């Protein structure tokens, strides 16, 4: 079979290679992949790829071999999955606890855009707690996670302010019901909850806009700039603010994937996909994703071979 492997080259970070078809472990099903969606974090890992690492965590396709332990969906089921790695290929072995069956109303491209970004959004909002009637600030709002957080938070009754780098990148969050600004300094606080994903100087600035007793949840560093705090500046800011670090990871992912699939099927969640292309264009798409030429998600289809 064909799979994409890291090259370590910035201009063309992956290349096709022949590989044996994976052999599933006892609790894994073999999936024939129809679509996969790269994440921006994966583009950073491709700059200095670890030995033996095979990229690919967001996939959709068909079950062609059921798990040996009898768990999971049957042969021919259309599924969305979140393997630990190896999803940029014709086939992948995926733990059945991290699969969800797709209804006919959701195509593979939509489904592939769900796993990492959608799971992150769901779990992040659970961390934030009930949002009905609360004022929320979200930084990095135009990425894959940001669109899901925006739609889910507004749907839950939050008064959301979304920070995007440009007016064009803010169009979709505005359509979803957010108040859009283009720098953290322009956000009109105080906020009950701040969901911060850019790092660098934005985190400290966002923290200053939290109400006394409020919460800041730090879930990313998209700027790739380290965060530093001046303790004495914290003393001048709001009192009793909770700062919480968040990371989405932790299997099983299947139950949350089922929730995401249900929300899409009910027309309550809409994957924001700015590019759908043949997987022959993966390398170019990864570069565009890394330098932010893509809003929301990009999806690659394996149906048309290279």
Does domain 118-245 match CATH 3.90.180.10? yes
Q: What is the pLDDT of residues 260-292, one digit of tens each?
A: 999 999 999 999 999 999 999 999 999 999 998
Distance between CA 216 and CA 154 in Å, rounded? 18
What residues form DSSP beta bridges with 273? 297
What number is the average pLDDT over the span 183-209? 92
Tell me what the mean pLDDT of segment 233-247 comes to. 80
Q: Compare 204 and 100 and report the one with higher pLDDT.
A: 100
Domain boundaries, the chain: 2-114+271-301, 118-245
Task: Round the average pLDDT of the chain to a whole number and report it.
Answer: 93
More confident residue, 237 or 101: 101
Mean pLDDT of 223-236: 72
**Phi, psi (rounded to 5 degrees) for 260:** -65, -45
pTM: predicted TM-score of the whole model, two decimal places: 0.93
What pLDDT was estimated at residue 95? Answer: 98
Q: Span 220-243, mean pLDDT?
A: 76
- The pLDDT, as a whole number, for residue 235 is 63
Is the pLDDT at 83 greater than 70? The verdict is yes
Mention the CATH class of domain 2-114+271-301: alpha beta
pLDDT higher than 70, residue 241: yes
- Look at residue 225 and tell me whether its pLDDT is greater than 90: no
Tell me, yes or no, if the two domains 2-114+271-301 and 118-245 fold the same way.
yes
Q: What's the pLDDT tens digit per position in 54-82? A: 999 999 999 999 999 999 999 999 999 99
Mean of pLDDT values over 130-146: 94
Secondary structure (DSSP) of the chain: -EEEEE---SSS-EEEEE-PPP---TTEEEEEEEEE---HHHHHHTTSPPTT------EEEEEEE--TTS-S--TT-EEEE--SS--SBSEEEEEGGGEEEPPTTS-HHHHHTSHHHHHHHHHHHHHH---TT-EEEESSTTBHHHHHHHHHHHHTT-EEEEE-SSTGGGHHHHHTT-EEESSGGG----EEEEEE-S-THHHHHHHTTEEEEEEEEE---TT-------HHHHHHS-TT-EEEE-----S--HHHHHHHHHHHHTTS----EEEEEEGGGHHHHHHHHHTT-S-BEEEEESSS--
Mean pLDDT value across residues 192-217: 92
Residue 306 has pLDDT above 50, yes or no: no
| pLDDT(304) > 50 | no
Q: What pLDDT, on the 0 to 100 scale, is given for residue 199? A: 85
What pLDDT does 234 receive? 65
User: pLDDT at position 143, please?
Assistant: 87
pLDDT at 237: 67
């Amino acid at each position: 079979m064909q799979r994409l492997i890291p090259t370590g080259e910035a201009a063309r970070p992956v290349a096709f290679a022949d590989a044996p078809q994976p052999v599933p472990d006892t609790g894994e099903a073999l999936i024939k992949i129809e679509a996969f969606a790269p994440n921006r974090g994966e583009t950073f890992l491709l700059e200095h790829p670890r030995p033996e690492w095979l990229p690919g965590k967001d996939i959709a396709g068909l079950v062609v071999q059921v798990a040996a332990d009898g768990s999971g969906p049957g042969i021919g089921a259309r599924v969305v999955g979140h393997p630990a790695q190896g999803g940029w290929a014709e086939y992948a072995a995926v733990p059945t606890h991290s699969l969800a069956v797709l209804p006919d109303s959701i195509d593979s491209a939509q489904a592939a855009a769900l796993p990492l970004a959608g799971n992150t959004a769901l779990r992040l909002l659970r961390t934030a707690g009930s949002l009905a009637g609360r004022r929320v600030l979200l930084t990095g709002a135009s990425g894959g996670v940001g669109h899901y957080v925006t739609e889910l938070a507004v749907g839950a009754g939050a008064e959301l302010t979304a920070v995007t780098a440009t007016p064009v990148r803010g169009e979709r969050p505005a359509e979803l019901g957010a108040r859009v600004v283009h720098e953290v300094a322009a956000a009109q606080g105080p906020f009950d909850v701040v969901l911060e994903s850019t790092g660098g100087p934005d985190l400290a600035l966002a923290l200053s806009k939290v109400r006394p007793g409020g919460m800041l949840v730090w879930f990313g560093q998209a700027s790739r700039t380290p965060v530093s705090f001046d303790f004495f500046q914290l003393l001048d800011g709001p009192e009793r603010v909770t700062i919480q670090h968040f990371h989405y990871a932790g299997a099983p992912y299947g139950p949350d994937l089922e929730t995401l699939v249900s929300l899409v099927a009910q027309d309550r969640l809409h994957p924001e996909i700015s590019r759908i292309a043949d997987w022959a264009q993966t390398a170019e798409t990864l570069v565009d994703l890394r330098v932010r030429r893509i809003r929301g998600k990009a999806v690659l289809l394996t149906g048309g071979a290279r």
